[in-house]
Amino acid sequence: MEAVAKLRNVPMSPRKMRLVVDNIRGKKVVDALGILRYTNKEAAIWLEKLVLSAVSNWEQKYDQVGGADEFDLVIKTAFVDPGTIIYRFLPAPQGRAYRVRKRRNHVTIVVENRVALEEEA
C-alpha cells in the first residue's frame, strides 16, 4: 500500500533538487530522514518536510499510527519535474539586457510499506 506527497513550485532549480532526491530514492524512510537531516543543502530542508508529509499521508490513509518503524516504510518513487520559469532582466552594457531565469520545480514522493497490513493478510 502506498501514499503520495507532492510539493509544487519550490523556488529552486530542478538540478539542485535532484542532487538530494537521488540520495534518498529507494531508501527506508528512517534512513532517508537521517540522510536529509545531515545533508548541507537547502533542498534537504524541503525534502525532509515532504517525506514527513508522505509518512503522515500513509498513516491517515491506512489508519496506522507510528507506521514508519513498524511497517518498514520505503521511498518507492521520488522524482523532480521542472516547474514554471520566471524571467527577469538585468541591465547590460550598451543598452542591452541580460535575461535571468528563476527556475522552479515540482517534487513527488511515493511511500510504500514492505510489511503487510492486517487488511492485506
Does residue 119 fall inside a structural domain? no
Residue range 61-110, pLDDT digits in tens: 888 766 667 888 999 999 999 999 999 999 999 999 999 999 999 999 99
Mean pLDDT of 30-58: 96
Does residue 118 fall inside a structural domain? no
- DSSP label of 28: B
Share of the chain above pLDDT 70, in %: 93
From the list 105, 1, 101, 13, the residue with the least C-alpha distance to 50 is 105
What residue numbers bound the domain in which 31 lies?
2-113
Mean pLDDT of 110-119: 82
What confidence score (pLDDT) does residue 10 get?
Answer: 97
When divided into structural domains, the chain yields a total of 1
What confidence score (pLDDT) does residue 70 get?
Answer: 80
Does residue 18 fall inside a structural domain? yes
What confidence score (pLDDT) does residue 66 get?
Answer: 64
For residue 16, pLDDT beyond 60: yes
